[in-house]
Amino acid sequence: MGSRGSHAAVIPDLDAIRRETGFSQASLLRLYHRFRALDRNKKGYLSRMDLQQIGALAVNPLGDRIIGSFFPDGSQGVDFAGFVRVLAHFRPVDDEEIGNRDPKQPEPLNSRMNKLRFAFQLYDLDRDGMISRLELLQVLRLMVGVQVTEEQLESITDRTVQEADEDGDGAVSFLEFTKSLEKMDIEQKMSIRILK
């Protein structure tokens, strides 16, 4: 018959992953099955090509950037723990979690600040801690495709950098990025529901 508990035993370091990511055991089990389905060659890790099988990423203009976030150190594969660590950024924030958080514990991966850090790195192509005008232009090109003229795109880019760039250095720092998005409900906009 096999209960959920017996299936959970196959997930390496389940308790540590659950604590770090905040995912329930049932969600981790679902994600583990998805991980194994994506790992067609049963290597025990996922490559960029494995992640490109995910339909939603294949059609997302930032799909390659999102896939790249699974390989921050340039590695060629991501194990299950790394896979769910990235997905945890998209876990919805529960009001209950916020009130019960132990301030001595690390900030949850799905916190507003960590969601913003994740979004920032999608734009910071050279990982220098700044979003330059050129980087923003490149990402916007990916997002809008041919729907907007190059002139319109450059105008949008210039205006965006000008509005966010408080210190006048021509680029957007992480602090400036967070300030420019302070009114946006990032906690919900960067959430994917994984059934419990």
Residue 194's pLDDT is what? 60
Helix (H, G, I), strand (E, B) or coil at 171: strand
Q: Residue type at 105?
A: Q
Q: How many helices (H) and strands (E) does the chain have?
A: 13, 2
- CATH number for 111-189: choose from 3.40.50.2300, 1.10.238.10, 1.10.1380.10, 3.40.640.10: 1.10.238.10
Strand stretches in the chain, DSSP E: 130-132, 171-173
The structure's pTM equals: 0.82
Looking at the chain, the whole-number percentage of residues with pLDDT higher than 70 is: 90
Question: What confidence tens digit (pLDDT) does each residue in 31-90 have?
Answer: 999 999 999 999 999 999 999 988 888 888 888 889 999 998 888 899 999 999 999 999
First to last CA, the chain: 21
Answer yes or no: are the C-beta atoms of 48 and 71 closer than 8 Å. Answer: yes
Question: What confidence tens digit (pLDDT) does each residue in 99-138 have?
Answer: 566 777 788 898 899 999 999 999 999 999 999 999 999 9
Domains 11-89 and 111-189 share a fold: yes
Q: Residue type at 122?
A: L
Residue 57's pLDDT is what? 84
pLDDT higher than 80, residue 96: no
- CATH hierarchy code of domain 11-89: 1.10.238.10
- Which are the contacts of 78, defined by CB distance < 8 A and separation ≥ 6? 45, 46, 70, 71, 86
Query: If 0-12 CB within 10 Å is exposed, 13-18 middle and 19+ buried, where does residue 190 land?
Result: buried
**Alpha-carbon separation of residue 159 from 78, 128, 132, 162, 185 (angstroms):** 38, 22, 13, 5, 22
Dihedral over alpha carbons 125, 129, 134, 137 (to 10 degrees): 70
Answer yes or no: are the C-beta atoms of 57 and 66 closer than 8 Å. Answer: yes
Residue 186 binned pLDDT confidence (cut-offs 50, 70, 90): confident
* Cβ contacts of 101-109, under 8 Å, gap ≥ 24: 108/22, 109/20, 109/21, 109/22, 109/85
Q: In the chain, where are the structural domains located? A: 11-89, 111-189
pLDDT higher than 60, residue 9: no
Residue 193's pLDDT is what? 67
